[in-house]
Structure 1
Amino acid sequence: MALSTQKGKDRVYLSLKRKYEVVKAAGCGAVLIRKLAEVFGCSKSQIGVILKKRNEIVSQYKANMANSSVQLKKIVDDPSQHDFRGSSGWLTKWKQRFNVKRITICGEYGDARGETVESWKERLPQILDGYDRRDIWNMDETGCFWKTLPDKGFARKGVKCKGGKKSKQRMTLAFFVNAEGEKAMPAVIWKSEIPRCFKRNVKKNLPVCYYSQSKSWTTGSILDSVLSSLNRKLSSQRRSILLLLDNAGCHPHDLQGKYSNIKLLFLPPNTTSELQPLDLGIIQNFKVFYKSRFLRYVLARIEDCETVTDVVKSVNILMAIRWVSEAWKQVKPDTIKKCFRRAGILADDMAVAHIPDADPFEDVDENAAALQELIDAHSGGAENSCHAEEYVEGENYLPVCFIGSDDDWEEEFMETLAAKSDPSSTEQESDDDDEIVCIAEVDPPLKISTFSEALTQLEDVKLFLESKNCAKAKRLGKILTVLLPAAGVVQTKSSFELT
């Protein structure tokens, strides 16, 4: 048990239980008061007072223990007759002792109908007939707060806590997996077309497929672009696949039959929580890995910043994209296969769909243990931290596409028109969003500040080329011979200007 000290005093507060432990330790033999003071971290005079009142402390401790046992037995026998209220610390320790955790109902689980699910699984063998495992794919999106901390945080010792605004930066991720355990490159959708941190053709070399949308949502046009790119790749490989999709609004049914090498198969409404492999543990597994990478970055740099919020501000979308790629690579093929088995996708896997050993959430629990350690370290102890499941599953209901009614379509349309007619507003919004997170990514200062210096450098280059007896140097030398006379320079009092 941690010892709490009062600021400005040497005296250490000892609970009744600790005082009882002091009495027991002193009764075990001839133990010096000095030794007891060292063991229990208090002064010798405090130990002396406790030993003088040993009889009173022992009787009071035993009475409390007996009373607690009786009260607990009464509560267990008849809970309705007692208004028991446990503290948050008591509840945390109780959940840890009995391995109890809160589970958030994912997606459409509460609306899934058993008869619809079973009927679908019975028809699956006929639907999937003729497709190899490697050609049966599933695609799904999920929302992700890419730089959000757990709900409960900490401040460094000696530094006054200034609070902090919870980051609401959100992106949408799209994943593709097949029944053989293979993964395709994930797609990332964020609001800025070219963020400030995308420099020097970074966008072409990203480890993900990057798309932009003003609200970071998936749209029918983005899905069409993703599938068209995938279809071209499959066509070059002379390969055809079956792609399972849910009935989200961003998955228009009129895309069926548009692609030569992709057959779209939409799952029944309100059944994705039981029939879609990505919803059965793959996405949760990915998010555990991503959150772990993000928290490791925060913890590694907290000592260099005044608050943890300052560390979060240093995270930009490019860093998040790279963490997405690395976390996605960590998802094991066996986890993906378990999810396909649990969904009953394949006929020969129907018999093992409900075997506990094939439960993909076991992989999530194993990886969540490491995430929990990082959350505890971030929060300053297990008693002050939230659970890993709550940290990850809190994003399950993030919208990935526009969900509206016919009444507000006009307002949405006018907002889109206004944004397109005023490009400066979109540019300004992106600049504001990245002003903090990308502040370190600025162009290096130029080593040449005047035209005179530039021309001097060009003259040196010309002399260097003339000293090299090769065809390439001669060609470049001729170019400079033409350029230098053309770049006439007029020197003014303050600067040099081209004529």
Structure 2
Amino acid sequence: MMISRILRKKEKYLTADLAPQEKRARKPECEDVEKLLYVWFSSMQERNVTLTDALVTNKAKEYYNSVIRQGTKEFKFSPGWLSGFKKRYGIRSYARHGEAASVEITEEFSPGWLSGFKKRYGMRSYARHGEAASGEITEEVAAKIQVLKELISQFDPDYVYNMDETGLFFRLEPGRTLATKKMSGKKASKERLTIALTCNMTDTDKLPPFVIHKYKKPHAFTKRNIRRLENLGIQWHSNAKAWMTIVLFEDFLVEFEKHVRLAGKEKVLLLLDNFAGHKVVSVQPYLNVTRSEFFPPNVTAVYQPMDCGIIRAFKAHYREYVVEKKLEKISQFQDPQIDIYEAVQMVMKAWSLDISSSTIRRCWRHSQLVNSNDILPDLNGDETVSDGIAELQRLLSRLQLENSPNDIHYDANEYVDFENLSDVVQPDDLELEDLQELLVPSLYEKEPESDIVDSDQPTSLISSKEAILALDIVQMFLEQSEENTVVILKQIEKIQKAIQNITTNSLVQRDICSYFRSVVHDSQV
């Protein structure tokens, strides 16, 4: 789904069942400028820049003047507008961080207001950056974690979720020099995905991977006639940097809120790290089911379940698929490089099929957020992340024998941890051009580009008849098997019925369109 479409409809998505008495804020006159301004404002806060009303107003004027507007009178960025902007985006002060992590208080903001502000946004202290940000578990951090544990204990384990992003170089080749390989930002954005993974404590609910790539419609999809990317089992998003931004995080919250509502859950807890792009303020009023809580800075490696092995297990399984695909292509004398379509299939399978409930439960317990086996008992099965690494090492050894010189050593741990070990150049700030592309796509959106431009012939659309014939072959294979395949055969029957329904609906739609075309034609005669 396009970013612009989500931005236009996010209130509709989130407020479908709001009480009638609840009101929506009136749409501002310069909504596009305010979106740019809010991302800039958040970025400045993360960089510890002291802001004043004058600085914010001047930046708004700069963004306003950068957008070509025809037939409109010049907008006045008055004190009244600034007050409205702060109110719309939940800004009541300009936080100033630093050695003392102090907040400059003007006459407008009293100590009482500051106390309330910290309470409303869960601020019990100000993060101290620099030398103190070493990840050491201080008494203050331990106290925060204890508060978080007590909060988690108030929720059913099925209702506690964790989301975290990870970078993934989806075409990465294994090799001895992985840990020192350096990529430029441009190259990284073409070869890199950002993937947000979300699951609950008991693994009874895994959300589809939230995948961010550089292109909205990669060539690998269009040449296969893939028209609905949701059918691939993922949520597809794009921006020029292939990274998580504030706008995309809001999109994630929209989808998450919809997901838990449809599941019939009345209140869930979503645990997040303190990444700069994780801003909840602008959509918080519409999150009626989702409560977001953030880990203290620099401790997620210890306490965040995703960082305690879940993401690593996912990458181990993903790279197993990559090596298997590479071996398969080599044996068939094909180009061993995978494309983004194949990568997405592997992402979906690695996340949805291969990570066991036992692994996820162990990682939650390892995070020390839950200590009782009564809450998260082990399930049957003893899969660990180490098992996945061992299987990957076996495949790498096979690949080395078949395809590589003797002096090249393939190390599974290095291969899985590449994104953590490599020196990947990424811009620290969003420039104005980036903000305009991300937040005002209706004005700056370009035609979709392709990640691979080649001479391959597009894949023909598969007819329903061809699909049924293919299923007949699969059905016969399963019926001839010496294994018990009854359960799988029942699933095949469901798929056959689904294809028949799709075909019937398509025919009905064509009949309706034909009818209206004939009516229009008759009226013109």
Tell me the TM-score normalized by structure 1: 0.55
> After superposition, where does 1:152-163 map in structure 2 within 5 Å?
152=176
Rounded to whole Å, the distance in 2 between the matches of 1:265 and 1:317 is 33
What amino acid is aligned across from residue 261 of structure 1 in structure 2? Answer: V
Rounded to whole Å, the distance in 2 between the matches of 1:332 and 1:222 is 28
Question: Percent identity at matched positions?
Answer: 27
- Aligned residue in 1 for 2:368: 344
- Aligned residue in 1 for 2:267: 240
Rounded to whole Å, the distance in 2 between the matches of 1:330 and 1:146 is 18
Larger Rg over CA atoms: 1
Aligned residue among 278, 283, 288 for 2:306: 278
- Work out whether residues 143 and 399 of structure 1, in 8 Å CA contact, stay in contact via their aligned partners in 2: no
Aligned residue among 383, 396, 417 for 1:393: 417
What amino acid is aligned across from residue 178 of structure 1 in structure 2? Answer: N
Aligned residue among 176, 197, 209 for 1:175: 197
Rounded to whole Å, the distance in 2 between the matches of 1:402 and 1:317 is 21
Cα deviation for residue 386 of structure 1 reads 2.4
- Aligned residue in 2 for 1:11: none
Aligned residue among 229, 233, 258 for 1:203: 229
- Work out whether residues 135 and 299 of structure 2, in 8 Å CA contact, stay in contact via their aligned partners in 1: yes
Rounded to whole Å, the distance in 1 between the matches of 2:453 and 2:278 is 34
What amino acid is aligned across from residue 214 of structure 1 in structure 2? Answer: A
SS for the counterpart of 1:218 is: coil
> After superposition, where does 1:213-252 map in structure 2 within 5 Å?
213-236=239-262, 237-252=264-279
Q: 1:373 to 1:440 in 2, by over 3 A?
A: farther
Aligned residue among 336, 346, 357 for 1:311: 336
Q: CA RMSD in A?
A: 4.2
Rounded to whole Å, the distance in 1 between the matches of 2:362 and 2:251 is 30
- Aligned residue in 2 for 1:141: 165
Q: 1:202 to 1:434 in 2, by over 3 A?
A: farther
Cα deviation for residue 282 of structure 1 reads 0.5
Cα deviation for residue 393 of structure 1 reads 0.4
Aligned residue among 347, 372, 375 for 1:324: 347
What amino acid is aligned across from residue 191 of structure 1 in structure 2? Answer: K
Rounded to whole Å, the distance in 2 between the matches of 1:415 and 1:422 is 5
Cα deviation for residue 111 of structure 1 reads 2.5
Cα deviation for residue 212 of structure 1 reads 1.4
| Unmatched 5+ stretches in structure 2 | 1-131, 178-186, 462-506
- Aligned residue in 2 for 1:287: 315
Cα deviation for residue 204 of structure 1 reads 3.9
- Aligned residue in 2 for 1:377: 398
Rounded to whole Å, the distance in 1 between the matches of 2:189 and 2:246 is 28
- Aligned residue in 1 for 2:330: 302
Rounded to whole Å, the distance in 2 between the matches of 1:144 and 1:217 is 11
Q: 1:364 to 1:347 in 2, by over 3 A?
A: closer
Cα deviation for residue 168 of structure 1 reads 5.9
Q: 1:347 to 1:368 in 2, by over 3 A?
A: closer
- Aligned residue in 2 for 1:193: 216
- Aligned residue in 1 for 2:359: 335
325-334 or 297-306: which moved more? 297-306
Cα deviation for residue 256 of structure 1 reads 4.2
Aligned residue among 444, 452, 456 for 1:439: 456
Alignment: residue pair count: 318
What amino acid is aligned across from residue 399 of structure 2 in structure 1? Answer: H
- Work out whether residues 308 and 363 of structure 2, in 8 Å CA contact, stay in contact via their aligned partners in 1: yes
Cα deviation for residue 228 of structure 1 reads 1.2
Aligned residue among 253, 258, 265 for 2:293: 265
What amino acid is aligned across from residue 365 of structure 1 in structure 2? Answer: S
Cα deviation for residue 110 of structure 1 reads 8.7
If asked which structure has higher relative contact order (CA below 8 Å, sep 6+), I would say: 2
- Work out whether residues 218 and 400 of structure 1, in 8 Å CA contact, stay in contact via their aligned partners in 2: no
Rounded to whole Å, the distance in 1 between the matches of 2:439 and 2:161 is 36
Rounded to whole Å, the distance in 1 between the matches of 2:280 and 2:422 is 23
Q: 1:242 to 1:418 in 2, by over 3 A?
A: closer
- Aligned residue in 2 for 1:122: 146
Q: 1:284 to 1:440 in 2, by over 3 A?
A: farther
Rounded to whole Å, the distance in 2 between the matches of 1:125 and 1:420 is 44
> After superposition, where does 1:70-109 map in structure 2 within 5 Å?
none
| Unmatched 5+ stretches in structure 1 | 1-108, 154-164, 445-471, 487-499
- Work out whether residues 375 and 385 of structure 1, in 8 Å CA contact, stay in contact via their aligned partners in 2: no
- Aligned residue in 2 for 1:366: 387
- Work out whether residues 167 and 194 of structure 2, in 8 Å CA contact, stay in contact via their aligned partners in 1: yes
What amino acid is aligned across from residue 301 of structure 1 in structure 2? Answer: K
Cα deviation for residue 144 of structure 1 reads 0.4
Q: 1:212 to 1:397 in 2, by over 3 A?
A: farther
- Aligned residue in 2 for 1:160: none
Please give the per-residue CA displacement for 1:50-104, whole angstroms capped at 9, x wherever unaligned.
xxxxxxxxxxxxxxxxxxxxxxxxxxxxxxxxxxxxxxxxxxxxxxxxxxxxxxx
- Aligned residue in 2 for 1:467: none
Rounded to whole Å, the distance in 2 between the matches of 1:204 and 1:350 is 37
Rounded to whole Å, the distance in 1 between the matches of 2:460 and 2:155 is 52
Tell me the TM-score normalized by structure 2: 0.53
SS for the counterpart of 1:114 is: coil
> After superposition, where does 1:400-419 map in structure 2 within 5 Å?
404-405=428-429, 409-410=431-432, 412-413=434-435
